[in-house]
């Protein structure tokens, strides 16, 4: 048996999502029945200090020999790093991804890809000009559950999909109209492109897009018309956003919902029902939440006589590390694409990331949500405080 293709990773940022992703990278691929690709953690960088990067390596139980850097510039210039995982706040994605691309590195950039469509287009342009791989890290798309549901829809089991309803919301309602996040928290801070839509609502949109847009035949791709309503929080960020996507040629609509005041999963047991409903004339597919990490779906058929097919899709754990979160599948995709000489993923093409960004930008515009120039500019600046940590 041929030895697996091994991809060498550099991790940009040391926060919670970077830790989760890196712990997934360090699991044994065989524990998820993957034998063709593998991952090697080569370096990690904090924008504030080398100590922070070293502490990160301890937290994730990294093997010895991983480089720890106190700046992003050092990370992207490490010759051993092949691909950079950008795990900074959305506000930083454009500048940080450009930094990596300009240094000749492939990039997996966390969602939301950027703050606006102009930035997304510039990233795609740059990656293509430099012949580099680039992908938005919408991990949910790579779940075996998501792949199976897309196959079911394509097979016509519920007929043509006319409507998708998706919700991804957190219950952070506080006293006297507040939320339980402090104003400087990335969830509500406009300086960090905070708000419900870019952080949570993108997962609601992911379900609308991967079913209603992604599965449209290439020659008939129809970008949706966007109608949005937004309630703003005292910080100026969106606290509740609802978006209707209309695909007139396909006679279909999607409703994407998100809020920071009420949880999709009211009691933590999914007693309130599915987070996502995919509806056709012959039945519907219900996906139990959370929208970002679903582990069960149900098929309800019009002629099913009340019988509901329930399918569980647990996330595999590496018993040796006692860990498995589900972010390893998107890493495996990056490795396979690079092994096969592909510069983007067919499961989330860069053109689709741009359309999703256009929808979110339009929704925020309709809701009069504005972000500062520092984080919305599409002019790359290697010395931007977003790249240097303000130093």
41, 25 Cβ separation under 8 angstroms: yes
* Residue 234 tokens, joined: 């005292």
Phi, psi (rounded to 5 degrees) for 62: -75, 150
What residues have CB less than 8 Å from 247, skipping those under 6 apart?
212, 213, 216, 222, 224, 225, 253, 254
Give the active site residues. Answer: 111
- The dihedral of CA 151, 38, 353, 125: what is its sign? negative
Nearest to residue 254, comparing CAs of 356, 179, 185?
356
- CA distances 174 to 22, 64, 385, Å, are 33, 44, 32
DSSP string for residues in 327-391: -HHHHHHHHHHHHTT-SSBTTB-HHHHHHHHHHHHHHHHHTT----HHHH--S--TTSHHHHTT-
């Amino acid at each position: 048996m041929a030895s697996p293709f091994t991809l060498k990773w550099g991790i940009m940022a040391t926060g919670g999502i970077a830790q989760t992703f890196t712990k997934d990278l360090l699991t044994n691929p065989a524990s998820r029945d993957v034998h063709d690709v593998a991952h090697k953690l080569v370096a990690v960088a904090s924008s504030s200090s080398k100590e922070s990067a070293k502490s990160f390596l301890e937290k994730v139980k990294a093997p010895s020999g991983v480089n720890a850097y106190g700046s992003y510039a050092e990370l992207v210039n490490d010759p051993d790093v092949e691909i950079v995982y950008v795990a900074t706040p959305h506000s930083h994605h454009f500048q940080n991804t450009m930094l990596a691309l300009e240094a000749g590195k492939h990039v997996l950039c966390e969602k939301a890809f950027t703050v606006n469509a102009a930035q997304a287009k510039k990233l795609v342009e740059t990656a293509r000009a430099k012949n580099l791989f680039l992908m938005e890290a919408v991990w949910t798309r790579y779940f075996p559950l998501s792949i199976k549901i897309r196959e079911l829809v394509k097979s016509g089991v519920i007929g043509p999909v006319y409507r998708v309803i998706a919700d991804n919301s957190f219950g952070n309602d506080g006293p006297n109209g507040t939320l339980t996040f402090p104003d400087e928290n990335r969830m509500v801070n406009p300086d960090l492109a905070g708000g419900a839509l870019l952080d949570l609502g993108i997962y609601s949109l992911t379900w609308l897009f991967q079913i209603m847009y992604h599965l449209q035949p290439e020659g008939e791709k129809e970008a949706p018309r966007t109608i949005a309503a937004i309630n703003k929080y005292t910080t100026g960020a969106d606290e509740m956003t609802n978006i209707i996507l209309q695909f007139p040629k396909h006679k279909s609509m999607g409703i994407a919902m998100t809020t920071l005041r009420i949880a999709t999963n009211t009691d933590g047991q999914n007693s309130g029902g599915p987070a996502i409903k995919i509806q056709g004339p012959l039945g519907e597919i219900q996906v139990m939440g959370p929208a970002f990490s679903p582990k069960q779906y149900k098929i309800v058929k019009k002629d099913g006589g009340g019988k509901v097919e329930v399918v569980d899709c647990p996330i595999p754990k590496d018993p040796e590390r006692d860990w498995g979160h589900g972010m390893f599948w998107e890493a495996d995709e990056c490795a396979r694409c690079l092994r096969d000489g592909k510069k983007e993923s067919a499961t989330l093409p860069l053109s689709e990331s741009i359309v999703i960004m256009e929808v979110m930008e339009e929704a925020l515009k309709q809701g009069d949500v504005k972000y500062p120039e520092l984080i919305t500019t599409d002019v790359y600046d290697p010395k931007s405080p977003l790249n240097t940590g303000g130093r």
